[in-house]
Structure 1
C-alpha cells in the first residue's frame, strides 16, 4: 500500500484517543514500522490516555516521537493520581514527575488533558491553587474536562480564562454548555466519547457534519482539536477519518468562494 502523508488542515486537527489501527479500517492507513507510525500516516494528532493509569519514562515518550512526522502532536492525559485520588490537592510532587516525563515529547507535545471525575464539584479555591501550580511550571496548552454540573458557570469559566485553561467540549454533554468549548479560547478541544452509549456508539453522518460546522465556527487562536474516544468497537477511527473528509471539503469550498 502506498504511504499517505498527513496534510494539516488549518480548520481542525482530527485524531483518536490512542493510536490503534483496527483491522476493519486498515485501508485508511499507510505503511509503517509500528502501529503508531501507521496511525500517523492518516492523523496529525493523538491523545495519550495510558498516562492516566501509569507513568511513562521520558525515554518512552521520546521513542514515540521517532515514529511520527514533524508536524504530528500528542496530547497527554494527566495521571488519575492527580485528578482523582488527590482531587487536585497536594499535587505538586506527582505533577512535577509527570511534567518531567512528558518533556521527552519535545516539540511534539501539543498539550495536556485534565479529566476530572463526575464527583468533583467546582471549588474555586482548590481549582485556583492547582491551576497556579500548573502554570508556574508550564505554559503548554491545557484542556480540562469537568464532569460535574457545577463547573458550567460564569465563575468557573472566568477562573479557567484567568489561568489560560481551556474547557473541553464533550459529547455526550452533561449540560448544554458542556457541548461547546469554554474557558480560555487559545485551544478548542472536542472529545467525543460515543452516543448514546459511551465508548461504543458510532456517530452518523448528520452528527459529524454538525460537528464540522461547530468547529468551523469556533474562534480558537490555534487549530481546534477533535478527538474521538469511541474506541471500543473501532468507530473512533472511522468517525475521525470521515470528519477529516468533511472538514477538508468545507475548507476547499470556502477557499473556492474566496
Structure 2
C-alpha cells in the first residue's frame, strides 16, 4: 500500500531484535525495512564508493514510493573541503543516479572546522547545481554558517538547510519555513539518546508532506524505535 505524508527514516536500515516483530519475517533487511518505512538515509556513501549495480539492486528491492536520501562523499566535504569539487561531485552523482526515480535528497554534511567562505561556497554550490538539479540539503557545523550572507547564498542555489538536533548552527526557532530535512542525532547523548513521545510530537508538527525526518541516534538502537513512534504519530495525525 502506498504511504503518504512525510518521509520517516533512519540512518541505514538495520532492524534491532527489539522491534523485529514490527516488520515482515521474510526478505532482505532492506525489503523488510521498506515494508514499513518510505525512506532511508544512506550514510555508507560518505565513507566509500558503491558500484552502480549496488544502487540498482537497492532500487529494485523497494516499493515505487520509497526514496533513498544519500550522504555526499567525505572526499568532497571533508578532504576537498568544497574546493574544486566539480569532477568529484560529477563522479558521485553518476554513481547514485543508478537509483533513478528512487533517489531522494543529497545530504551535504560539513566538518565542524569548515568555516563559511563566500567565494568558495558559491563556487561549490554552482558546481553542484550544474550537475545535480534535485534536492540538496545542507548541514554545516561551524557557527560562521549562521551569517545572513550564507543563508542568502543557500537560498540563491535552492539548497535547503537541515534542521539538526542537537543544533550546531540553526535551532528550531530559526526556521520560519517548513524544514525540508530534519536530522535527529539524539540528545543529550548524540547518537545514543532516545527521544520521548513529547519530543517526537514537537518535531512532527514541523513536518510537511514532502519533508524528511531522519533518526540518526542508531548507536543504541533507538533510531528505529523512535522512527516507528514518529510514523505512528504521523499516521494518527493524517487519519485524525
**TM-score computed with the length of structure 1 as normaliser:** 0.88
Hey, what does 1:178 align to over in structure 2? 171
Correspondences of 1:158-169 after superposition (within 5 Å): 158-169=152-163
Give the counterpart of 2:57 among 63, 72, 79.
63
2:119 aligned with 1:117, yes or no?
Answer: no
Consecutive unaligned residues in structure 2, runs of 5 or more:
none
Correspondences of 1:85-104 after superposition (within 5 Å): 85-104=79-98
Displacement after TM superposition at 1:31 (Å): 3.7
Task: Tell me if the contact between 2:178 and 2:206 (Cα under 8 Å) persists in the aligned partners.
Answer: no
Hey, what does 2:3 align to over in structure 1? 8
Task: Tell me if the contact between 1:166 and 1:181 (Cα under 8 Å) persists in the aligned partners.
Answer: no
**Matched residue SS, 1:207:** helix
Displacement after TM superposition at 1:214 (Å): 2.2
Hey, what does 2:232 align to over in structure 1? 245
**Matched residue SS, 1:214:** coil
Instruction: Quote the RMSD (CA, aligned, Å).
Output: 1.8
Displacement after TM superposition at 1:182 (Å): 5.8
For 1:33 and 1:107, the matched residues in 2 are separated by 22
Consecutive unaligned residues in structure 1, runs of 5 or more:
217-221, 254-258
Hey, what does 1:231 align to over in structure 2? 218
2:79 aligned with 1:73, yes or no?
Answer: no
Task: Tell me if the contact between 1:172 and 1:179 (Cα under 8 Å) persists in the aligned partners.
Answer: no
| Count of residue correspondences | 240
Task: Tell me if the contact between 1:47 and 1:75 (Cα under 8 Å) persists in the aligned partners.
Answer: yes
Give the counterpart of 1:208 among 165, 183, 200.
200
2:142 aligned with 1:148, yes or no?
Answer: yes
**Matched residue SS, 2:207:** helix
Hey, what does 1:131 align to over in structure 2? 125
**Matched residue SS, 1:251:** helix
Task: Tell me if the contact between 2:163 and 2:179 (Cα under 8 Å) persists in the aligned partners.
Answer: no
1:69-113: per-residue Cα shift (whole Å, max 9, x none)? 010000111000100011000112211111110111010001200
**Matched residue SS, 2:182:** strand
Hey, what does 2:183 align to over in structure 1? 191
Hey, what does 1:84 align to over in structure 2? 78
**Matched residue SS, 2:96:** helix
1:44-81: per-residue Cα shift (whole Å, max 9, x none)? 00000000000011111011111100100001110001
For 2:92 and 2:174, the matched residues in 1 are separated by 25
